[in-house]
Amino acid sequence: MNIKKKLAALASGTVVAASLTAAPAAGAATTPGDGEAVSPDAYCAEEYWTNTSVTSNTFKQSHSSYSSVSGAPGVTLTIATGRTFGISGDITGELSGDVSAILAGVSAKVGTRVGASYSSTNTVSGTWKVPSTYTNGGKLAIGAKRAQGTWKRQMLNKSCNVVTLRSGSFYTPWQQFYFQHYKL
């Protein structure tokens, strides 16, 4: 018997064997259809999940020393290997148990692993020749892309209602270095 039939049976006073424990998947509608009423005795098994929404991916230069180099037109700029660089991240509104679920959700959306912060020794050098058309010169920087967006920790309660428990925002760096160049 599906959940709508169980709810309709409960609303009409029919006894249903076993308790109503069907819970919809995350994001599924939890309200009855047209003309159906949810009985005050309806029961859903509690279920928890975290939703993430990635709104952008932007470059963030490392805050470490030697994370950028500038030069005149025609000069080849290089950021060498062997230095340790770090990129900070930020998650707001979370409790300690939320962080792994938030990071997993963001990683799934951007297609690569992200973290609350990223620090590692660079093993790939970055090289870029400043074009002659950049009359004021150029800049090469090392950092990481950061995913930005919002998250919500939600639950399906025993009354079959979806409730938002807490929410916040995030800036989470990708767990790999990225080189970016600029015109000065």
Identify the weakest region by mean pLDDT among 78-82, 103-107, 111-115. Answer: 78-82
Say whether pLDDT at 101 is over 90: yes
Tell me the CA distances in angstroms from 115 to 85, 105, 175, one per residue in order.
15, 11, 6
Work out the percent of the chain whose per-residue pLDDT is above 90. Answer: 64
Average pLDDT of span 34-55: 77
CB 76 within 8 A of CB 127: yes
Residue 27 has pLDDT above 80, yes or no: no
Q: Find all residues with CB under 8 Å of 148, minimum gap 6, and list them.
A: 54, 55, 56, 57, 58, 169, 170, 171
- pTM for the whole structure: 0.67
Question: Nearest to residue 180, comparing CAs of 4, 57, 31, 54?
Answer: 57
Mean pLDDT of 49-77: 93
pLDDT per position as a tens digit, 129-140: 999 999 999 999
For residue 39, pLDDT beyond 60: no
pLDDT at position 99, please?
92
- Selected residue with higher pLDDT from 132 and 23: 132
The more confidently predicted of residues 50 and 32 is: 50
For residue 3, name the pLDDT band (cuts at 50, 70, 90): very low
Q: Is the pLDDT of residue 16 over 90?
A: no
